[in-house]
A and B are shown apart, each in its own frame.
Chain A
């Protein structure tokens, strides 16, 4: 059994989760303090991929990243890099799809954060970056960790947008979800079942992790 899809899925999910962790947290931290109206609009934009069908996300991505489209053409001509139909193409798809998950959980955590703690830090002479990394982030860490795990789980399962932008090439762009579909389509039921089981195990572990974090969060809240 060729384990390439597992490896590929993991690296795509891992990289896109890292990207989303940085940008999702930064965006959430920024928008939380904006005035209501602007916040509402940005919130809408950042959450949109959560409710859009993945095929719509895939379509929109292709409109920008396709070899003859504005960004795709630019990268192809300047760096000789083709943004679609490569293993890393799926990263674009998963990143967009999981961004709202990270953004929303992080925003919830930042919203619940007591801003006076940061103000106290300022009067104590601490710098803003120091306050963010040593006071605010630790206070919000459980929400951020939960968001990361959720985003990773969703990235592993991404199918629609990924298949549109990266396609299915065995040994190159194949992920677990596209492999399952391909195997089922070609009547290879036994192998498809194996991949389904692998996927179930990974998802179960991830969900367990989320539950553990949530119950810990509740405990610390009761305290």
Chain B
């Protein structure tokens, strides 16, 4: 299974330009709202027509502006999970799923007409009961969408989507409509489900935890432009550009001046000198430090004075702002530490934890 997306679409005030290809089955697209994530997903589903480019999945051309190929959504074998789930509001849960079977039958008929053999479907129509039970919706089968909880809505939408036996699953911010306490449970539930069905998935989100947990290939989008793609862990470790570092959650970013092969001067952190493990190339103009990478106390190198720090608390973490503006996150111990013991006179950043960044990815 391989996926190639290389598309461009221009609007008056926005330009989408995405280009990547991967063999991974777990693809994540991370970006802030308005970065073109959903637009990319809709292009793959055939709900938006890009101006130019191509979309190829599993050697099947879904879209190609050169050959004027543009398969209709019902010929692309994709399942789309909408951000607000888009359940049909006038239908019960059961009717929502039955309606998907109507579509599944039509898809199969279309495939037969064009001589394509379709795989055995995962579900059979006479087994609506089985599906409802599998997704924990049996008791809600006569409820309308507005009577369901967030989790039940999501399960209905997932069940409805899988009925049509899609090869490629497109998940648009699947957890953003859920309450926080539900989110993590549903994330694990979805992870299990995806492992069970083993289909290729593109997950779109603005939540890096979600992407990191579920995807092994990552695409970073910023204002319609791709600012990085590759192995998820690799990209989190080496985001390369400032925008990518911000997207992956790097809290501390400073302009720098190169002082030597492995030495920089951080201009925005009170002009401290830092030693890096990596060689500082000439096009490096920024450096980043993740907020949890500091070590309290002093070592030989990269000592940073704490000074007059401010502390704010979160349920499981302390947020400490050093005098020079650096953010430091400290996990809370089981017994709550007192603030006096918490703050050392200085902290250290290991040289391998300094992220070297270019201003713009070229």
Contacts and interface: CB of A to CB of B under 8 A. Distances in A.
Interface of A: 114, 116-117, 119-127, 130, 134-135, 138-139, 141, 223
Contact of B106 (A114, A127, A139): A127
B161 interface: yes
A135 B91 CA distance: 9
Nearest 9 Cβ contacts at the A-B interface:
A125-B103, A125-B107, A124-B103, A120-B86, A138-B90, A123-B80, A122-B73, A125-B74, A126-B103
A58 to B, nearest CB: 41
A129 B42 CA distance: 21
Given A119-B73, A123-B47, 7 more contacts: A114-B84, A119-B47, A121-B88, A123-B74, A124-B163, A124-B164, A125-B110
Given A117-B88, A119-B47, A124 B82 contact: no
B331 interface: no
Given A123-B73, A125-B164, A135 B88 contact: yes
A49 B106 CA distance: 43
A124 B102 CA distance: 9
A121 B161 CA distance: 10
A121 B160 CA distance: 10
Contacts of A122: 46-47, 72-74
17 contacts: A114-B86, A117-B86, A119-B73, A120-B82, A120-B88, A121-B99, A122-B73, A122-B74, A123-B78, A123-B80, A123-B161, A124-B100, A127-B106, A134-B99, A135-B90, A139-B89, A223-B146
Contacts, number: 71
Which of A124, A127, A139 has the most chain B CB atoms inside 10 A of its CB? A124
Contacts of A120: 80, 82, 86, 88
Interface residues of B, number: 29
Nearest to B72: A122
A124 B161 contact: yes
B244 interface: no
Nearest to A134: B99
Contacts of A223: 146
B79 interface: yes
B322 interface: no
Nearest to B86: A120
Contacts of A130: 102
Contact of A125 (B47, B84, B86, B104): B104
A124 B84 contact: no
B54 to A, nearest CB: 20
B45 interface: yes
Interface string B2-46: 000000000000000000000000000000000000000010011
- Residue from A116, A130, A138 having most chain B Cβ neighbours under 10 A: A116
B139 to A, nearest CB: 20
B229 to A, nearest CB: 25
A125 B99 contact: no
Contacts of B160: 124
Interface string B121-152: 00000000000000000000000001000000
A126 B42 CA distance: 17
B99 A119 contact: no
A116 B82 contact: yes
Contacts of A119: 42, 45, 47, 73, 80, 82, 86
Contacts of B74: 122-126
A143 to B, nearest CB: 13
A126 B146 CA distance: 23
A126 B160 CA distance: 12
Contact of A139 (B78, B90, B103): B90
B102 A116 contact: no
